[in-house]
Structure 1
Amino acid sequence: MRRAALLMAAGALTFASACQQPAFAAEKVVEAPAAARKASEGKGLKTAIFAGGCFWGVEAVFSHTKGVTSAVSGYHGGTKRQADYSLVSSGVTDHVEAVKVTYDPSVVRYDELLRIFFSVVIDPTLKNRQGPDRGAHYNAELIPLSAEQRTVARSYLAQLRKSGKWDAPIVTSVEPARTFYAAETYHQDFAAKNPRHGYILRWDAPKVAALKRLYPALYRAEFRRN
């Protein structure tokens, strides 16, 4: 795993210096097109799951998105016994790092969340990796939690594949929903709690900045804490 190793000591976290990580090219921001198929989800809060590499950055972006009421980092795809950071990060489980996003569709629709996700969170041409992180647990996946979300997700992926916005084939997939397990407490609101952490500065702060630049009407300066 490329992300700085997590070390527990006296109830606090100590991190290896980000400067010790290998150098990687900066992630490219590609503004995805607005969805042709708009989500129609009715009234009330809705929930969807997004897997997009390290969950710190996925959570950070959606926590700065208007209409999102909760963004919880966790694990999706494996068993309850496997839902442990040391196991997941070793690559021996069936889990991907994921974020469960609860949102108000009267403020931000599911298709708008998809557009943000593909524009500033992930590179949809990458399989089993994002940014500096490698392994199947960093695969980018859409996990809809309703029939409407599933229809919109599939329609949007088909639209993106025809858009010509990316130089390589889009490999992000729509996956069936399984049990989502919240990650350990120290992973929640990680970017807000550790704004000067090397990984956050290098990989995740630019994603939040891109959200603000590309979608100012949906950007919220205040971090939505869980």
Structure 2
Amino acid sequence: MVAPRTFSSQQCKTQILSSMLSLALLLTEVTLLHADKTSCQYDVFKPQVATCSDDIAPSITISTVRAEQKELNVTPVHSVNIAFKTATFGMGCFWGAESLFGGTQGILRTTVGYEGGSKDSPTGDHTEVLEIDYDPKTISFKQLLDLFWNNHEYGLTNPIKRQYMSLILYHDDEQKKIAEESIVEEQKKRVPEKIITEILPKGKFYPAEDYHQKYRLQGHKDLAETLNLDAKLLRTSYVATKLNGYLAGVGGVKQFKEEIDTLGLTPSQKEYCLYQVEQNEGMGLYC
């Protein structure tokens, strides 16, 4: 039989002090950890990145940008001379869809609006749609459909009111053929659910109200003002289209850095936009 261990009075005191010291160190570590978490905001989409209290977002002032534009002779690139085709999709709320395509390479212009109704004005039976001008040498209609199928606000199989229905409006016979082939392939992935997307000919497009156009970009009020956007440019501007996507995190930092010098931005605008792209990359789209 093994005899039970015995400790002297001094050994007991030493053991107790050691335990107390370990507990104190543990409490200190917990306190420091708590302090760190209160000073840093951890992004659940990017768990390895922390935005701490000393990470100050760059500001943008209209007067500074105006001075830079004058000194550097820089103006926003609102128009690009590239041959294009047009696609029109209904994907639920059009704010998120406009950012999704705006931040995609090969997209030249986006406009949100309404189509598909039975009356001569956009009323409750029209559908929110996105009209997209794209460079067919950079991105194909089939690739646009891949984005369409995978990024619906309300899904492809849930019946919803007509305002937010899933809709492909084809502009020619080629688009119709590609869309019909595409829905067959997509349906195979979703058995036993039934895709309820409608494929219809393009009709009359009613542009949405100004406050709907480039909705994410307009949330950056001072930046938007420095781009000199009137009602028409909100619908047609190339730089507004791209920034509306990038500011929502679409495309990502690498792609934005590759394109940043083609947009006609000043140093202050570039710094501000790059920070926003870094913060929002991977955050996902929402309405």
TM-score (norm 2): 0.47
1:94 deviates by 2.7
Q: Specify which structure has the bigger relative contact order, considering alpha-carbon pairs within 8 angstroms and separated by 6 or more residues.
A: 1
Could you tell me the percent identity over the aligned residues?
A: 28
Q: What letter is aligned with 2:183?
A: L
- Match for residue 190 of structure 1? 215
Structure 2: segments with no counterpart, 5+ residues: 1-81, 222-244, 264-287
1:67-101 Cα offsets, whole Å, 9 max, x none, are: 11111000101367522xxxx4xxxx331010110
CA separation of 1:157 and 1:195: change in aligned 2, threshold 3 A: farther
Q: Distance in 1 between matches of 2:255 and 2:152?
A: 17
Determine if the alignment matches structure 1 residue 100 to structure 2 residue 120: no
Determine if the alignment matches structure 1 residue 61 to structure 2 residue 87: no
Q: Distance in 1 between matches of 2:219 and 2:118?
A: 29
Q: 1:154-169, aligned counterparts within 5 Å?
A: 154-164=180-190, 168-169=193-194
1:119 deviates by 1.2
> In the alignment, is the contact (CA less than 8 A) between 1:61 and 1:121 conserved in 2?
no
Q: Is the partner of 1:124 in helix, strand or coil? A: coil
Q: Distance in 2 between matches of 1:73 and 1:82?
A: 15
Structure 1: segments with no counterpart, 5+ residues: 1-42, 129-134, 197-204
Q: How many residues align?
A: 154
1:167 deviates by 6.1
> In the alignment, is the contact (CA less than 8 A) between 1:75 and 1:95 conserved in 2?
yes
Q: Distance in 1 between matches of 2:152 and 2:132?
A: 14
Q: Distance in 2 between matches of 1:120 and 1:212?
A: 14
Output the aligned Cα RMSD. 3.2
Q: What letter is aligned with 2:156?
A: P
Task: Determine which structure has the larger helix proportion and give its number.
Answer: 2
1:174 deviates by 0.6
Q: Distance in 2 between matches of 1:53 and 1:221?
A: 29
Q: Distance in 1 between matches of 2:220 and 2:145?
A: 25
> In the alignment, is the contact (CA less than 8 A) between 1:124 and 1:140 conserved in 2?
yes
Q: Distance in 2 between matches of 1:65 and 1:167?
A: 31
- Match for residue 203 of structure 2? 178
Q: Distance in 2 between matches of 1:117 and 1:106?
A: 19
1:157 deviates by 0.2
1:60 deviates by 1.1
Q: 1:148-159, aligned counterparts within 5 Å?
A: 148-159=174-185
- Match for residue 38 of structure 1? none
Q: Distance in 1 between matches of 2:259 and 2:219?
A: 16
1:170 deviates by 1.3
Q: What letter is aligned with 2:217?
A: A
1:4-29 Cα offsets, whole Å, 9 max, x none, are: xxxxxxxxxxxxxxxxxxxxxxxxxx
